[in-house]
Amino acid sequence: MSVETELKKEVRVETGMRFGRVTPSVNEVREAARVILENKLKQRRLQMDLRAKETLLAAVCDDMLGWGPLSPLMHDNEITEIMINGPAQIFIEKRGRKLLSDVSFDDDGHLRLILDKMLGPSGRRLDESSPYVDFSLKDGSRVNAIVSPLSVGGPTITIRKFLDSLESLNDLIRLRTITEQMARFLKACIKAKLNIIFAGATGAGKTATLNVLSAELSPDDRIITIEDALELKLKQQHVVRLLTRGSNIEGKGTVSIRHLFSNTLRMRPTRIILGEIRGEEAIDYLQAINSGHDGTLAVLHASTPADVLGRLETMAMFAGLNLPSQEIRRQIASGLNLILQHEQLADGSRKITYVTEVTGMSDGNITLNDIFRYHIEDIADSGQVIGEFRFVNLPLHTDRFKKRGIKLDEIF
């Protein structure tokens, strides 16, 4: 450890001890840190130029009041993801590309200091007995952290930043995630109260699309959201937000998505939004959308629309109700209406590659109808994906649209 790094660590620790639990101002931190630094330089008979002093004091202020070395990354709106592989290696995703950043932490302790600051307001635990956690920051960014003994090279943290630049369907059109015609159809699907699954891999844009489309929900709706970490940003007034809870230090007190979902059905929801379907709650989801809870929106990790069906069936079978697979498929076919498949392409761009209608069953299998599809034609030497959105087929089930006075011929 260099002398300068050692000094910075000592100044940071002593400055923190001086204020304790009190939240100081930037000027108070800077002045306290300056006095401590000057005393240490004098004790060690060291010289430090003004620029080096200012850099050290700014770093201490960031550690005390901000996110430390992560501050410039968190404030860069072009960075969508921050991936921390221990204190010395921090990758970022910028404009769809993964790059090694030029910032680092002093050591594991420095990284853990910033991680604990992030974790504090969430009320979640992260220790040897509970070494991994999901939580959200105040701005809606989602954080996953895993520490020793499971993470060998130091704390590993993944921060998916909340993109407040995406506010409307026009933003998705501008980014070529969808077309204007697709946007008109998706607005109609929300108005018609279709049950929609937002599918795709991690980082493909599922939650971003859900957030944007949620703006089309009626202000008269009573909306209940269920999440593991608070990612959804709804603008309506009548919103009830439910959050899962992990176990306490004694291994008790867990409240899962399934627990919250069953309680939600007693809360008279007009709309239910599931932050993610990931396990046994799939059966509760299927029973809800088959019992009058229309307009339910949910996120699910899957590679294709067909995979969505397979994952739902598999997860529902693990719920322990001993339902035959044919009955589960029947519930999927009769309850689920639309799948929006998201994908991050080779050039980093994000597209809704399939807008697929669930049409029913044939010979024991669920049938699908692609309405829109993104077709990749080529990849340029620059790496840019060349392709186009194509309208494929008209929706086959139009009753819900008609009941809401939606004229699909004005869209297609």
Per-residue pLDDT at 125? 83
Structure tokens at 232: 């959804």
| Boundaries of every domain in the chain | 1-65, 66-162, 169-410
Per-residue pLDDT at 68? 92
Mean pLDDT of the chain: 91
Q: CA angle 361-367-369, nearest 5°? A: 140
Is residue 1 predicted with pLDDT exceeding 80?
A: no
Highest average pLDDT, of 286-295, 340-349, 366-375, comes from: 366-375
Q: How many CA atoms lie within 13 A of 236 on its CB side?
A: 22
Is residue 129 predicted with pLDDT exceeding 90?
A: no
Per-residue pLDDT at 253? 76
| Arithmetic mean of pLDDT, 270-293 | 92
Domain 169-410 adopts which CATH fold? Rossmann fold (3.40.50)
d(C-alpha 209, C-alpha 232), whole Å: 10
- Cα end-to-end distance, the chain, whole Å: 65
Domain 66-162 adopts which CATH fold? Beta-Lactamase (3.30.450)
Is residue 405 predicted with pLDDT exceeding 90?
A: yes
Do residues 320 and 280 make contact, with C-beta atoms less than 8 angstroms apart? Answer: yes
Residues with Cβ within 8 Å of 141's Cβ and at least 6 positions away in sequence, in order, are 74, 159, 160, 161, 162
d(C-alpha 109, C-alpha 91), whole Å: 19
Is residue 369 predicted with pLDDT exceeding 90?
A: yes
Is residue 272 predicted with pLDDT exceeding 70?
A: yes
Whose tokens are 């209608």? That residue is 357
On the 0-12 / 13-18 / 19+ scale of CB atoms within 10 A, 381 is exposed
Evaluate whether 66-162 and 169-410 have a shared fold: no
Q: 60-87: per-residue pLDDT in tens?
A: 999 999 999 999 999 998 899 999 999 9
Is residue 197 predicted with pLDDT exceeding 90?
A: yes
Is residue 121 predicted with pLDDT exceeding 90?
A: no
